[in-house]
């Protein structure tokens, strides 16, 4: 029987994605944090489905379903506008086992390079490899929607 990296205690590689947004770092940071519900792909990346909304509310990222149900996706760990936004990430899963999502906003000519790094897979134990693989693919349409919204 083979063991997974999580089971052996070896670190699991982070998911890293980057896109370029045709807005300033200040505008891009604001779009990412204050206007998340306008661009996030709820139909494919939510707990309550396409009619739900998501917003950063204080120190949490919260999804609200069309029937008023709410679920916390993440706790904000660091918010340093317009440079860094870091979350303990656990949408639809146990908040006691969050991964970490760090988003950096870097000036890039007349736009912004958005760098997302998702780490901490080891906390998920046997689910780690599957979760990492899912997010490796899953962050692509999320960031594509951010670029399109800009």
**Residue 51: which domain range?**
14-149
Indicate whether 88 belongs to any domain: yes
pTM for this model (two decimals)? 0.92
Indicate whether 1 belongs to any domain: no
Indicate whether 3 belongs to any domain: no
Residue 83, pLDDT score: 98
* Phi, psi angle pair for 136, to nearest 5°: -60, -40
- To the nearest 10°, report the CA torsion of 146, 137, 51, 34: -30
Pull the structure tokens for residue 51: 């009619």
Residue 50, pLDDT score: 97
Indicate whether 23 belongs to any domain: yes
Which stretches of the chain score pLDDT less than 70? Answer: 1-9
Indicate whether 6 belongs to any domain: no
DSSP string, 1-42: ----HHHHT---PPEEEEEEESS-HHHHHHHHHHSHHHHS-T
Residues in the chain: 150
Indicate whether 113 belongs to any domain: yes
Indicate whether 7 belongs to any domain: no
Report pLDDT digits (tens) over 56-85.
Answer: 999 999 999 999 999 999 999 999 999 999
End-to-end CA distance of the chain: 48
CA distances for 104 relative to 112, 136, 142, angstroms: 10, 17, 15
Number of domains in the chain: 1
The CATH number for 117's domain is 3.30.530.20
Residue 147, pLDDT score: 98
Residue 9, pLDDT score: 62
């Amino acid at each position: 029987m083979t063991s997974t990296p999580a089971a052996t205690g070896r670190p699991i590689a982070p998911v890293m994605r980057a896109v370029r947004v045709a807005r300033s770092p200040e505008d891009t940071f604001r779009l990412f944090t204050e206007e998340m519900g306008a661009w996030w792909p709820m139909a494919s990346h939510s707990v309550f489905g396409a009619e739900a909304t998501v917003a950063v509310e204080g120190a949490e990222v919260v999804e609200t379903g069309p029937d008023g149900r709410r679920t916390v996706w993440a706790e904000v760990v660091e918010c340093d506008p317009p440079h860094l936004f870091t979350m303990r990430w656990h949408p639809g899963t146990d908040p006691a086992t969050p991964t970490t999502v760090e988003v950096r906003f870097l000036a890039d000519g007349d736009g912004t390079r958005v760098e997302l790094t998702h780490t901490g897979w080891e906390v998920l134990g046997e689910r780690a490899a599957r979760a990492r693989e899912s997010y490796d693919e899953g962050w692509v349409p999320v960031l594509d929607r951010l670029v399109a919204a800009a």
